[in-house]
Amino acid sequence: MEPGTLIRCEMTKWGDRPHWQSVGLYLGEDEHGEWLGYPRGTHNHRPGHEFHSAVDCVTLVQPGRWHLPTFQAPGIWCDLYVDVTTPATWDGHVLRAVDLDLDVIRLPDELPPAASAPWEVAPAGPGEVFVDDEDEFAEHQVAYRYPADVVETARASCDEVLAAVRAGAAPYDGAHARWLAELSRLSAS
């Protein structure tokens, strides 16, 4: 795929239930995987909720990995939001994955003055890394009947990502900065 190609991201919940959808740009590939860009103002929607992103962000797609990290430009309540998912797959210019509820979130070292973080994040402080939506993961294991191997792999992926983010290991070591700059360049042209 060529840099600048429009792509669509279609996330579902288990059982092919609709979840987040958005349109972005294919940015390119490096040793970590493929990078997608979503300029500030990108429309994100799911049944019952929608918003326009307040800052640029880039998402990393790593083959066979059970998560999708999204790195945010400065200015909002989090700088990293990693969705634990089934491995993402391409169908032409459409990226698909099943969201498995668990999220690894890193807050910026300095929270923006007018941060509008979701209420459940309020107890976390600047620079903290934590797992969100463990209650939802537990509920959906029963309600959506996640297979045991999916539960085990999702939990292992979450634990692995949490440790890597806390350690500042690649790609959580600033590798995304190059791709935020590329998104700015492509968005300006």
Residues linked to residue 135 through DSSP beta bridges, in sequence order: none
Segment-wise mean pLDDT, segments of 10 residues, the chain, 189 residues? 96 96 98 98 95 96 97 93 98 98 94 59 77 96 97 98 98 98 91
Quote the number of domains for the chain. 1
- CATH number of 99's domain: 2.40.380.10
User: Is 1 inside any structural domain?
Assistant: no
pLDDT for 77 equals 87
pLDDT for 117 equals 57
pTM: 0.94
CA distance linking residue 58 with residue 122, whole number of Å: 24
pLDDT for 136 equals 96
Range of the domain at 77: 6-188
